[in-house]
Amino acid sequence: EHHHVHGYIALFFLFGGFGLGCFLQVVQERYMAAIPYTCMLFVTGFILAVIHHYRPSGHWSYWGAWYQSVEMWDKIDPHVVLYVFLPALVFSEAMRLNIKLGKRLFAQVLLLACPGVIIGTLLTATFSKYIFPYGWSWAASLVFGSILAATDPVAVVALFNTLGVSPRLTMLISGESLLNDGTAIVCFNLMMNVWRGDDVTFAGGCRYFLEMTVYAMFLGVAVASLGLVVVFGSAESRYHNDAMIQVAVTVCVGFLCFFLAESEVGTSGVITVVSAGVMFSYHAWPRFVSRETMKTVWEFIEFLGNTVIFLLAGLLFGHRVVTRRESQQIERSDFFWLFVLYIAVTLIRLFMILVLWPLLNCCGEKITWREAMVMTWSGLRGAVGLVLAISVDRSVSEYALDPKVGSRMLFHVGGVAMLTILVNATLAGPLLRKLGFTKTEEIEEKCIEHFERVTDAHARQALQQILDSQDKDPRFDGAALDYTNDLVPVLSSESAAQEPSGRQVNAKLRMCREIFMRAVQHHYWEDIEGGLIPRTSRVARILLYSADAMLDDCRQPLKDWTIVEETLDDHQVVPCLSNLALVWPFSNFSLLKELLPSEQLIMMWQIYAALSFIESHKAATEEIAKHFAPDGVLGAQVQAMVQQESQTQCALATELLNQLSPEKVQSVKSRMLAGKLLQLQVEKVNELKETGLLSEKGASHILHRLMDAQRNVSIKSSVKTISFFDASPCGDDEGGDSSSDGSDVLLARYHKD
């Protein structure tokens, strides 16, 4: 009897698989840390496919709804998988890119993702053409080669972050994966056209490749720009739902980029999403109202995407293997050729890296042989290649081709993905340890030990304060100290400080600069989130960029103010357009003023940057002195050298302030003070609401008034708005030099409130 299968049954596998993934994540982190999470998902999916295929309907464990849901996902259109899951994974990775490091490594990443993909495609096609006993045509071999050219090192990159591998090597591998997914899919589509019998010339192929890349980049920038307008407006408005709106915008941009590129424009969806993600990484983070909310939501989306796509990959691969094995489309000899192919693709990747090695070293920092070995071993294949192979398998019947070709391609692609996930990802940790990538420097170990002693001393001091308190806390009064000491071992033993070695001056300098710049970056964020620096201002991004630049290379003396000044100087003033931004109604759009800055606004940026820079360096210097004794782990000499470097940079910032108009400096200081006071009021209102003393309605009423005042601080510039009839757009802005009138009115309004 025929039973109608409802579409909602598909949700059973989606959420059931997600729940299973959560369980596997808990098991992996606690008991099986050596096995990557994606590896466990793939194997679990394969096992589910075998059980699903061989379990009879009358078995006691048979569950009709689950069976139907798995059947629906097994027949899923591969394009749906790409459209639903790939944009989330790609955009999440691109949005977290370190732009400074990415710019430095871009040429090397581009070499690996473009010529590297072409070399891998050609060599793999040659192998499948002349070594495989299948008699494939060149067109079929090139399709197969392009599928295997796409790497998916998500398991290895996650392991890199856990083991503390250098950000540079992590960026090389993850950046290559981001771009080569796009170039491999472009090559795949081109080779599929050739296989179908379309007339493809060399010139036509080059034109197609440019359309797939250049159009994609422009489309990604365009869609991201529209999304950034909303993000900027939300950061500026400070309404209750701004954080939620910003998260929703990032999700929409990630998925719309892929859809518009693939479905409407006909260009590369992956490259479009990467371009949009890079735009957000560079422009959006200082403007996000809640960084923690944004990170948490996208970590969840990424976790959900990886869980479902790798579980589904194992399910689809397992089902194809068992069904095609029974239909004799996959033979026993194919398993032998699978292991030969696995060795071949590993050697091909090694050959590709060796061929490009001289060019890679010419384009950037030299790559060591140990890094080359890790890059070779990290060339995992994943769900993207498997989805493309399923697409080929479905296309075979449409073009009356041998069905065994599609079955064998699917088997070999899925098999290589399985072997690289099982073998490469699992053995990546031991390989990194063997090559010394996880070895912690002596000075870093001593810093960690130092802060362990700091936290231990803090616990002992807190205990002593509780014991000495005259007003006894009923929660602790009468507690058994001996039992407490057993539970907190540091309370019963004093850890002896180890004398640091005096021979590692360069290592100590690097570590001290890194700690110093992390403290500086933290204070920049405090100024941004504390209302001193407007989120929508370029100053926020420039200061954070300078800190990232210094953290990227702590071997060099501090020069972050030089970076700030150079970045500010890059903004050219175009009087015709800059003055147009001062004319009503354009003057109401602060984003337009940011894009078309006038001399007055750039001067304002310089003052904001210099004041925040000086204070952040001062605070970082005090924190270093507070937590590191002169005779401690870093040493007095190293701390003095870094302090001198900081003072030199602060002197340059102070010199700039002295060259500017005192009235302008006073105006910006007034704005920073107003911003801080208003933010303190907002925090106090939120505190009263959380404690229950203030109702939701009362808090909303007060916050709206404060947010209006905050918008005045962030929106009003130091340039007076001029009427359309008085404007002289292409003339000199002699009348635009306002004093601190705007800020004085603002402070007067604040005191009145």
Residue 592 pLDDT greater than 50, yes or no: yes
Look at residue 586 in the predicted model and tell me its pLDDT: 52
Task: Identify the burial level of 251 via C-beta atoms within 10 angstroms of its C-beta, where 0-12 means exposed, 13-18 middle and 19 or more buried.
Answer: middle
Lowest mean pLDDT: which of 44-48, 237-241, 346-350? 237-241
Longest Cα–Cα distance in the chain: 90
Residues 6+ apart with CB under 8 A from 512: 624, 634, 638, 639, 641, 642
Which of 28-37, 124-133, 492-501, 633-642 is predicted most confidently? 124-133
Look at residue 747 in the predicted model and tell me its pLDDT: 42
Look at residue 620 in the predicted model and tell me its pLDDT: 93
Task: Name residue 284's amino acid.
Answer: A
Contact 275, 224 (CB under 8 A): yes
Can you tell me the distance from the alpha carbon of 174 to that of 430, in angstroms, rounded to the nearest whole number? 20
Q: Percent of the chain having pLDDT more than 90? A: 20
Bigger pLDDT: 382 or 623?
Answer: 623
| Paired residues of 737 in beta bridges | 719
Residue 633 is classified by DSSP as S
Which of 204-218, 347-361, 388-402, 703-717 is predicted most confidently? 347-361
Look at residue 722 in the predicted model and tell me its pLDDT: 44
Please, which pLDDT band fits residue 452 given cuts at 50, 70 and 90?
confident
Average pLDDT score over residue span 38-55: 87
Domain-by-domain residue ranges, the chain? 75-438, 505-660, 668-714
Residue 218 pLDDT greater than 90, yes or no: yes
Residue 344 pLDDT greater than 70, yes or no: yes
Look at residue 648 in the predicted model and tell me its pLDDT: 93
Average pLDDT score over residue span 727-747: 43
Average pLDDT score over residue span 224-235: 87
Global confidence as pTM: 0.80
Can you tell me the distance from the alpha carbon of 645 to that of 550, in angstroms, rounded to the nearest whole number? 12
Residue 381 pLDDT greater than 70, yes or no: yes
| Paired residues of 222 in beta bridges | none
Please, which pLDDT band fits residue 152 given cuts at 50, 70 and 90?
confident
Please, which pLDDT band fits residue 398 given cuts at 50, 70 and 90?
low
Look at residue 613 in the predicted model and tell me its pLDDT: 94
Reduce the DSSP state of residue 379 to 3 states and report it.
Answer: coil
Look at residue 122 in the predicted model and tell me its pLDDT: 93
Q: What is the pLDDT of residues 168-177, one digit of tens each?
A: 888 888 888 8
Q: What is the pLDDT of residues 89-122, one digit of tens each?
A: 889 888 888 888 888 888 999 999 889 999 999 9
Contact 653, 520 (CB under 8 A): no
Nearest Cα to Cα of residue 369 among 385, 356, 357:
357
Q: What is the pLDDT of residues 564-586, one digit of tens each?
A: 988 887 665 555 555 555 555 55
Residue 589 pLDDT greater than 60, yes or no: no
Contact 381, 180 (CB under 8 A): no
Look at residue 348 in the predicted model and tell me its pLDDT: 94
Task: Name which CATH class applies to 75-438.
Answer: mainly alpha
Look at residue 166 in the predicted model and tell me its pLDDT: 77
Residue 260 pLDDT greater than 80, yes or no: yes
Lowest mean pLDDT: which of 45-59, 72-86, 492-506? 492-506
Q: What is the pLDDT of residues 599-651, one digit of tens each?
A: 778 888 889 999 999 999 999 999 988 888 877 777 788 888 899 999 999 99
Nearest Cα to Cα of residue 147 among 393, 401, 373:
393
Residue 735 pLDDT greater than 50, yes or no: no
Contact 407, 324 (CB under 8 A): yes
Task: Name residue 716's amino acid.
Answer: K
Can you tell me the distance from the alpha carbon of 521 to that of 529, in angstroms, rounded to the nearest whole number? 12
Taking residue 293's Cβ as centre, other Cβ atoms within 10 Å add up to: 14
Q: ∠ CA(595), CA(597), CA(600), 5° rounding? A: 160
Please, which pLDDT band fits residue 397 given cuts at 50, 70 and 90?
low
Can you tell me the distance from the alpha carbon of 599 to that of 575, in angstroms, rounded to the nearest whole number? 9
Average pLDDT score over residue span 321-335: 80
Bigger pLDDT: 701 or 644?
Answer: 644
Look at residue 223 in the predicted model and tell me its pLDDT: 94
Please, which pLDDT band fits residue 731 given cuts at 50, 70 and 90?
very low
Residue 654 pLDDT greater than 90, yes or no: yes
